[in-house]
Amino acid sequence: MGLGLVPIVKKVIMAGYADSDGVFAKIFDINGQPLLPEIRGHEDQIYRIIFSPDGRLIATASWDRSIKLWNAADGKLIRTLTGHGNWIYGLAFSPDSQILVSGSKDRTVKIWSIDGQLLHSLSGHIEPIRDVTFSSNGQLIASASEDGTVKIWNLNGDLLKTLRGHIGAVYGVSFSPDNKTVASASLDGSIKIWSTEILTSDKVLERGCNLIRDYLKTNPNVEEGDRMLCRGR
């Protein structure tokens, strides 16, 4: 069963298993009145359904291994994204509504543009991925997996950090609004809060420069151009 709220909380959308006419989703106003005809098109259960932050799109992730984008104004299908090899559990829009990230039972995280282009397919988890999310600045992606870990990626698909500590499958992950922490929720019964400070490139560069600054200044084998690497830091 999927449930999503448009950011301005004037519409609610829900979806789930099929009825006699196929898999469907419904959009309601906050008073429970249907706004559009039922959305149909998937061939299996819709597991996750979300509005884009700008409220213009609806994205659905299904056990039929596809993601579908719909016009939130009229419920019409815009396009279908295919590429996952198994059920899709996790789905999230970037803050600017231009990128989607998905996580699947096939153990991959995929990054898509809303025009349907697959930008990156990320591997690293060894069990199904249950949740994915963007940081509020749109620069980081977190994925939560049944392997008990949370992984942090950048938009280029680089793995920045693997967060280990849970002893059960991780089903939920979320960045704080200031992007300084990540929260993860696990079947081990715990919620863990992680610092993201070391993930930013500026912090990593600053720490690296602190370690090698004297070396760059004093080692006679360092080329003159390389001595400038940490100037100003």
Between 34 and 76, whose confidence is greater?
A: 76
**What is the overall mean pLDDT for the chain?**
82
User: 204 and 180, same structural domain?
Assistant: no
| Model confidence, pTM | 0.77
User: 232 and 123, same structural domain?
Assistant: no
pLDDT tens digits for 201-224? 444 445 555 556 566 667 776 665
User: 147 and 40, same structural domain?
Assistant: yes
| Host domain of residue 228 | 200-233
User: 204 and 187, same structural domain?
Assistant: no
User: 131 and 65, same structural domain?
Assistant: yes
User: 232 and 132, same structural domain?
Assistant: no
User: 90 and 20, same structural domain?
Assistant: yes
The enclosing domain of 101 has a CATH number of: 2.130.10.10
- Per-residue pLDDT at 29 exceeds 70: no
User: 174 and 64, same structural domain?
Assistant: yes
**pLDDT confidence of residue 1:** 44
User: 220 and 157, same structural domain?
Assistant: no
Number of independent structural domains in the chain: 2
* pLDDT band (50, 70, 90) for residue 196: confident
User: 172 and 61, same structural domain?
Assistant: yes
**pLDDT confidence of residue 146:** 97
Between 186 and 24, whose confidence is greater?
A: 186
- Per-residue pLDDT at 23 exceeds 80: no
User: 204 and 192, same structural domain?
Assistant: no
- Which of 50-64, 186-200, 212-226 bottoms out in mean pLDDT, i.e. has the lowest? 212-226
* C-beta of residue 82 within 8 angstroms of C-beta of residue 65: yes
The rounded percent of the chain whose pLDDT value lies above 70 is 70
pLDDT tens digits for 111-166? 999 999 999 999 999 999 999 999 999 999 999 999 999 999 999 999 999 999 99
User: 117 and 92, same structural domain?
Assistant: yes
